[in-house]
Amino acid sequence: MNYIVYIIATGSALILSLLLKQPLLPEEPKRQSWTLSAIFPTAVLALGFTAMIAKLGYLTSSYTDYIIALAIGVITAFFSKFILEKILPRPAMPDEVSEINQPIEKLPGNPKPSEKPSESDKVSEVSKPDMSSKSQEESHE
């Protein structure tokens, strides 16, 4: 009987989000899409809020549970459409950040590929003293 409450909450959230002109699925590629859709995050939030209400003990296996599930679906659809991006803004995409779009050779401190590093840029090798002969002398003593 408890699963019917989850179906009502998810179904009402899906139907209302489609009526609010949210797409059913996010745009391609789905992994890097930040488009709000009816499936994610709206239906997932409806399931989560319903589970929280059930765990808190507000669902008591009566007919009022169906009204609560319907209300959760409606609230979740409006929350997802109008409030979610104000609380959790979209991350900065690489196209929006100017430093990421610069070629590597234009970044400060990087020589151009056609230029060879000068002598001052090269790191001089420091010869280490030969420690092997010193340690051999100590071991013989």
Contacts of 137 (CB under 8 A, 6+ apart): none
Higher pLDDT, 33 or 123: 33
Tokens of 110: 């990087």
Closest C-alpha to 5, from 56, 70, 57, 49: 70
**pLDDT confidence band for 120 (50 / 70 / 90):** low
Closest C-alpha to 14, from 44, 34, 35: 44
Mean pLDDT of 89-109: 60
135 pLDDT higher than 50: yes
Domain boundaries, the chain: 2-87
Q: Over the stretch 30-63, which tens digit does the pLDDT of each residue have?
A: 666 678 889 889 999 999 999 999 999 999 888 9
C-alpha dihedral, 101 to 107 to 112 to 113, nearest 10°? -50
d(C-alpha 107, C-alpha 113), whole Å: 12
**pLDDT confidence band for 9 (50 / 70 / 90):** very high
Mean pLDDT of 112-116: 58
The pTM of the full predicted model, rounded to 2 decimals, is: 0.62
Mean pLDDT of 9-25: 94
